[in-house]
Structure 1
Amino acid sequence: MWNRLSKDEKGFTGLEAAIVLIAFVVVAAVFSYVMLGAGFYTTQKSQEVVHTGVAQASSSIAPSGDVIVRADDDGGNADQITFYITNTAGGTSVDLDKTILTYTDEDDFVTREYMVDSTTTPVTKGPTSIPADGAWGNTYGWVYDGVIVTNDDNLLEKGEKYKVVIDVTQLLATSTAKTLPEVNEQVKIEVKPPEGAVLTLTKSLPAALSADQFYPVY
């Protein structure tokens, strides 16, 4: 008789079964929500990592045309480097005020950020106009006329070209060696935007430099 009473489950009502079932459903729902939430969070972070990686790996600055050097008054050395930069196809705008320029040759290494002197009045924009002098060594400026370039900031945007003129003598003022690059010497210029890949220009000076003459370098 005791065995029959201990195994008798007639007292297990439908209400109790419903409570147990609801408990299982609630636990499963909470667990599923936690797992789905973790999955969505991981997916979102993965997308952010991919977008950030693409933005950092792709460059928004590209060279436009040759790099030109000017020989100094005595010849044999280069005292000015000129090149043009533009925005890459599909690239984002680049704030040149936040862009860093690095110059390297055989015995000099200089890094400068562009800091416009607040006491200097910028020149009116035009085909040959330039903003106020900055710490890049000399200046950079718009190539197009002010009618075409309507923005008043130093933002390199789609369809624009900027002319960068580096006064090597001024740029090397804080360098230890302070020696101008000479014939056959290799120079490297890095334009480092706040976001995106670095634009690197590595050029070798020609075998001869006549005073005050201009030369394309490769």
Structure 2
Amino acid sequence: MSKLMRNEDAFTGLEAAIVLIAFIVVAAVFSYVVLGAGFFTTQKSQEVVHTGVAQASSNMEVSGPVVIAGNDTNKVANITFYLQLAAGGSPIDMNKTTYVVSTKTNQQTYTSSNVTTEWYIDGVNATEGANNLLEKFEFVKVTINGTTQKPLPAIGVNDKFIVEIRPDQGAAYPLERNAPPSLEDGHYYEVY
């Protein structure tokens, strides 16, 4: 009689194919997870860079001279300057902007309620309809006056002073200037 022999060669090939397909599926899933994590990380790092650039760069700049007025005690009575948006800057809410005037010995912080502003749109005075949002093609004239509640720090002749303009978003914009060698009551001086 003949013996029945079992030949299992075909099953070995089929099992190898199944294992190979399983490896391919696992590799595809793993690569999908890795690529997804990579794309997520790239997107987050891009957001961080954009946020960092927005926070580090100032959206405004001074347009024109910084002018001070003298008073009867040979001190600075007020500081006036014009602000505009920097190239590519986003609009700035001037109601949320603060101003810090400092000298070697003193400093004072002013809010929008403590300063006087005049608005110019396309070079024309626009006191009516100004929305307190500094936008493209707009200028705002800011005058920091000393009052009895918030006096200016004592800035005398030849004194160095800094006006730091701090918008609600973005970097602060410092103006470092020197008072002139002579200050007279009612006279205006352009400072550098």
TM-score range, shorter chain: 0.7 to 0.9
User: Which residue pairs with 2:125 in the alignment?
Assistant: 145
Answer whether contact 1:79 1:180 (CA < 8 A) is retained: no
* Unaligned stretches of 5+ residues in structure 1: 115-133
Deviations 1:86-134 (A, max 9, x none): 11122111111121211101322122333xxxxxxxxxxxxxxxxxxx1
Matched, 1:197 2:174: no
Q: Which residue of 2 aligns with 1:69?
A: 68
Matches within 5 A, 1:155-170: 155-170=133-148
Larger strand proportion, structure 1 or 2?
2
Q: Is the alpha carbon distance of 1:138 and 1:194 closer, same or farther for their aligned partners in structure 2, counting shifts above 3 Å?
A: closer
| Match in the other structure for 2:98 | 100
**Contact conserved, 1:79 with 1:168, CA < 8 A, in 2?**
yes
Q: Which runs of 5+ in 2 are unaligned?
A: none
> 5 Å matches for 1:22-171?
22-72=21-71, 74-114=72-112, 134=113, 137-143=114-120, 144-146=124-126, 152-170=130-148
State how far apart, in whole Å, the 1-side matches of 2:80 and 2:90 are: 24
DSSP 3-state at the match of 2:11 = coil
Q: CA RMSD in A?
A: 2.3
- Write the letter of the residue equivalent to 1:162: V
Q: In 2, Cα distance between the equivalents of 1:57 and 1:22?
A: 52
1:11–1:151 distance in 2 versus 1, CA, 3 Å: farther
On the 8 A contact 1:93/1:157 being kept in 2, the answer is yes
SS of structure 2 residue aligned to 1:183: coil
**Alignment partner of 1:213 out of 180, 187, 190:** 187
Work out whether 1:183 is the aligned partner of 2:181. Answer: no
Amino acid at match of 1:37: G
Report the TM-score when normalising by structure 2: 0.85
SS in 1 for 2:9: coil
Report the TM-score, using the length of structure 1 for normalisation.
0.76
